[in-house]
Amino acid sequence: MIYFENVSKIYPDGTIALEGATLSIKQGEFVSIVGHSGAGKTTLVKLLLGEDQPTGGSVSFDSVDIQNVRAKDMPDLRRRIGVIFQDFRLLPNKTAYENVAFAMEVAGKSDEEIASDVPHVLELVDLSKKMWNFPRQLSGGELQRVAIARAIVNHPDLIIADEPTGNLDPVNTYEIVQILKKVNDMGTTVILTTHNRGVVEALGKRVITMDHGKITRDDMMGKYAL
Ligand code: ADP
């Protein structure tokens, strides 16, 4: 489903963020990408989302070379990928319900679909009781659960969670990872980036380790090792 072939990324200031990165991810996998801050995890995600171009090599998604996707076709590709960030990125003036509904509106879904799917997906992340709360009335863990609901509501093929537990305590971290696992069990491919050793060890899924822009390990039932 995803293929990085000998990918390098050198930023204009000369920073080498990725060097000779080759990896493939199959549909339905749950893959954690771990490494210290600055290892290149976010750069990898940006290249996959087409937000930046590799300096060398190629990045493909379902056999489509992302660098060759025309600007007008990019939104179609992006709709197939749900993204979750460390800082949640919810709209502050919309309730949990409205944040999720908005993602469906933007994707052109009907009012009927929105009215039936939003409560369902908020129930999946155990937020039914708080769906009328605004972001300022929610805890960090709850905010991230809204963000997950928003990311999955349009049934993407892939969820990318870029350091989703970076702002959370251990209990909330555990809950978020369990929800991502549930999403994966339902068939969605998940890529999780983290520097949190505990998160990855508890999962027992594939772990790709990065260090200074290089993939240094790829363990199927991995342990985090730097
Ligand atoms: P991680 O997500 O693992 O913390 P990043 O991909 O954000 O790592 O960064 C990898 C390296 O690239 C770091 O040395 C970082 O400082 C550098 N970097 C990231 N973005 C830019 C940029 N826009 N310009 C220059 N250097 C950058």
Q: Check pocket membership of 35 for ligand 1, CB cut-off 6 A.
A: yes
Q: Dump pLDDT digits (tens) for 65-81.
A: 999 998 898 888 889 99
What fold, for 2-65+78-219? Answer: Rossmann fold (3.40.50)
Q: How far is CA 44 from CA 13, 163, 192, 218, in A?
A: 18, 13, 12, 15
The pairing of beta strand 189-194 with beta strand 158-162: parallel
On whether the CB atoms of residues 182 and 193 are closer than 8 A, the answer is: no
Torsion sign over Cα 37, 78, 61, 205: positive
**Residue 140, exposed/middle/buried by CB under 10 A (0-12, 13-18, 19+)?**
middle
The structure tokens listed for 112 are: 């009927």
**Looking at residue 225, what is its pLDDT?**
47
pLDDT digits (tens, 9 = 90+) for 24-50: 999 999 999 999 999 999 999 999 999
Sign of the CA dihedral running 106, 192, 27, 128: negative
Q: What pTM was computed for the model? A: 0.94
Ligand 1 proximity of 17 Cβ (cutoff 6 Å):
yes
Measured from the Cα of 18, ligand 1's closest atom is 10
What is the average pLDDT across 111-138? 97
What tokens were used for 221? Answer: 């039932």
Pairing between β-strand 206-211 and β-strand 30-34 as defined by DSSP bridges: parallel
- What is the residue whose two structure tokens read 């369902």? 120
Instruction: Collapse the DSSP code of 159 into the 3-class scheme (helix H, G, I; strand E, B; otherwise coil) and give the result.
Output: strand
Q: Which of 141, 157, 142, 14 is nearest to 76 (CA)?
A: 157
| Nearest-angstrom CA–CA distance, 4 and 60 | 7
Distance CA 27, CA 189 (A): 6
- Report the pLDDT value the prediction gives residue 71, as an integer from 0 to 100: 87
CA dihedral (146, 147, 153, 154) in degrees, to 10, reads 160
Pocket-testing residue among 7, 11, 45, ligand 1, by greatest number of atoms within 8 A of Cβ: 11
Dist. CA 40 → ligand 1 center (Å): 6
Tell me the pLDDT tens digit for each residue of 154-209: 999 999 999 999 999 999 999 999 999 999 999 999 999 999 877 887 788 999 99
Q: Residue 167 C-alpha to ligand 1 middle, in angstroms?
A: 19
